[in-house]
Amino acid sequence: MAPARRKVGGVNGDDSAHDDAQGVPHDANVGPRANPAALGVPEAARLLSAAGGQRIAAEMIEADVAAGAPTNADGTINLVNYAAWLVREMATIGD
């Protein structure tokens, strides 16, 4: 089985996007320079898709924000705060 191809920004001068084994596209906006404390919704969706191995649409995150997910003052997403919010939401589903 071939190893998964993952985007590593700027290695060997190659800034093109690659797909990993799950077919999740990667691009230069999500890489070693991405700030997980301040990501735009599209960037957060791409990063979560790449990390989780399944597609997370920007619309899913936008729906969470509309439902009360925390954002920074400038509208960006802090992934730690967002993950904590998701855990709290999932815990309340069982109650």
Tens digits of per-residue pLDDT, 40-85? 999 999 999 999 999 999 999 999 999 999 999 999 999 999 999 9
d(CA 25, CA 45): 11
Half-sphere exposure in the Cβ direction for 36 (13 Å, CA)? 10
d(CA 28, CA 91): 34
Beta carbons within 10 angstroms of residue 24's beta carbon: 21
Report domain extents, the chain: 35-95
Sign of CA pseudo-dihedral 47, 26, 63, 77 = positive
pTM of the model: 0.65
Cα 91 to the chain's mean position, in Å? 21
If pLDDT is split at 50, 70 and 90, which confidence band does 33 have?
Answer: confident
